[in-house]
Amino acid sequence: MPDEGLTGASSVSEEARAKINLALHVTGQRPDGYHLLDMLVTFADHGDRLGFARSPADEFFLSGRFGEVLAGDGGTNLVLQARDLLREAIGALAFPVRIHLEKNLPVASGIGGGSADAAATLRGLMRLWGATLPEEALAALALKLGADVPMCLASRPLIARGIGEELEPVPELPAFAMVLANPLKGVSTPEVFRRLAEKNNPALRLAPSRLQTADWLAVIAAARNDLEPPARELVPEISEISAMLQAKGALLTRMSGSGATCFGIFASMTAAEDAAAALHDARPDWYFQATETVSGGA
């Protein structure tokens, strides 16, 4: 995918980084049904990739390991929704575009793939069209696309509260060597929330300072993902895949989002790559990916 890297360029590309919920606390529920969450979020250097180019007419192409999964969703794809909303917001600058989505992340897997794609579309088309929007307007547009899109627009370590719209950067968070693991079995997010035994759980309490990586591991381990127990009831493979990560030396394992992707944090990228390779050999029909997360100070 060519990328001139210029405002108003003829083609640009964007990374749609996997979103990792290091912690997810369900702290309440609004009258409209939305759940209130406290989340510690980071982003992996692995994800989907999008290319954008000037075209005589709007076009959309899919490739990548999981591209076929999205082939039949037509105009419901968040990439196309993001394109159309942004075009409506900026008007005449928005010439027709060819969009290519390389879908490398499992679909509906708790790592924000669709939201990251939508956020990357906003970033990429703003550059391609040479457009600017006030920060507040862009944030509102992102939230309209989904509760996870504003944080994916940032793609940096942060704490997200509310339904995901209250963002607080966490520049102190270090990078982690990690393996993402998914049994490629769907889990229903509404059903996970429905099975929650308690929706008014203790909030996430963090006091970031000059913590070392080992200290951060302890902080994360003391937190929770309140969605993991009901998700494990629905998809027993989540427990199995978490145990597999632990058996390969993960220092900490947890499910991300509403699942079914789990992550294991490893002592080094070499250890993560070795673990991912061994796990893939054991279960080639599942998804294993070694990656490194971005640091808050990147």
pLDDT digits (tens, 9 = 90+) for 197-215: 899 999 998 876 667 778 8
- Tens-place pLDDT, residues 4-22: 333 446 899 999 999 999 9
Residue 1, pLDDT > 60, answer: no
Q: Show binding-site residues.
A: 106-116
What percentage of residues in the chain have a pLDDT greater than 70? 94
Residue 109: inside a domain: yes
Q: Are residues 79 and 127 in the same domain?
A: yes
Residue 82: inside a domain: yes
Is-above-0.75 flag for pTM? yes
For residue 73, the domain's CATH number is 3.30.230.10
Over range 17-44, report the average pLDDT: 96
Q: Are residues 132 and 148 in the same domain?
A: yes
Catalytic residue list:
19, 148
Of 3-12, 70-79, 83-92, 283-292, least confident by mean pLDDT is: 3-12
Q: Are residues 160 and 34 in the same domain?
A: yes
Residue 78, pLDDT > 70, answer: yes
Among the candidates 148, 169, 190, a domain finishes at 169
Residue 202's domain comprises 176-294
Residue 195: inside a domain: yes
Residue 2, pLDDT > 50, answer: no
Among the candidates 145, 169, 193, a domain finishes at 169
pLDDT of residue 71: 81
Residue 112, pLDDT > 80, answer: yes
Of 74-83, 165-174, 202-211, least confident by mean pLDDT is: 202-211
Over range 57-71, report the average pLDDT: 92
Over range 152-178, report the average pLDDT: 94
pLDDT of residue 75: 54
For residue 279, the domain's CATH number is 3.30.70.890
Q: Are residues 154 and 287 in the same domain?
A: no
Q: Are residues 82 and 125 in the same domain?
A: yes
Q: Answer yes or no: are the C-beta atoms of 92 and 70 closer than 8 Å.
A: no
Q: Are residues 208 and 283 in the same domain?
A: yes
Over range 264-270, report the average pLDDT: 98
Q: Are residues 27 and 137 in the same domain?
A: yes
Structural domains counted in the chain: 2
* Average pLDDT value for the chain: 92
Q: Are residues 23 and 154 in the same domain?
A: yes
Of 7-21, 23-37, 75-89, 121-135, least confident by mean pLDDT is: 7-21
Kindly indicate the confidence band of residue 74, based on its pLDDT and cuts at 50, 70 and 90: low
Q: Answer yes or no: are the C-beta atoms of 169 and 125 closer than 8 Å.
A: no
Among the candidates 108, 142, 169, a domain finishes at 169
Q: Are residues 222 and 129 in the same domain?
A: no
pLDDT of residue 196: 93
pLDDT of residue 86: 98
Q: Show binding-site residues for ATP.
A: 106-116
